[in-house]
């Protein structure tokens, strides 16, 4: 599931050349969460390992909606609250 998340979000948050985005995003997410266990878009962008990062808002919203729907289905299946 983590790979799916990275693939979806790396299509919205990426380098201009769109190379090695999955690894760059993973690194930025880990660094964003390292301090307080929370991930924010601003911290992720600040921690992105390149000097330039592109954020495509429409794709990011679409990925968020897809992941939220997946979360809901998993919760229904397992009968638990993930977040």
Which pLDDT value is given to residue 43? 94
More confident call, 55 vs 72: 55
- On the question of pLDDT at 83 being above 70, the answer is no
Q: In whole angstroms, what is the distance from residue 51 CA to residue 71 CA?
A: 33
pLDDT band at 3, cuts 50/70/90? confident
Using a 10 angstrom Cβ sphere, with 0-12 exposed, 13-18 middle and 19 or more buried, the burial of residue 57 is exposed
Give residues with Cβ within 8 angstroms of 70, minimum separation 6.
1, 4
Give residues with Cβ within 8 angstroms of 44, minimum separation 6.
13, 25, 28, 29, 32
Query: Does the model's pTM come out above 0.85?
Result: no
- Give the residue from 52, 28, 58, 27 showing the smallest Cα distance to 41: 28
pLDDT digits (tens, 9 = 90+) for 9-65: 888 888 888 777 888 999 999 999 999 999 898 999 999 998 899 999 999 898 888
């Amino acid at each position: 599931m983590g790979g799916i998340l990275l693939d979806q979000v790396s299509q919205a948050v990426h380098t201009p050349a769109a190379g090695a985005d999955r690894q760059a995003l993973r690194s930025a997410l880990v660094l964003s969460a390292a301090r307080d266990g929370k991930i924010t878009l601003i911290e992720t962008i600040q921690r992105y390992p390149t000097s330039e990062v592109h954020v495509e808002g429409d794709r990011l919203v679409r990925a968020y909606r897809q992941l939220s729907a997946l979360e809901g289905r998993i919760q229904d299946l397992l009968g638990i609250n993930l977040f």
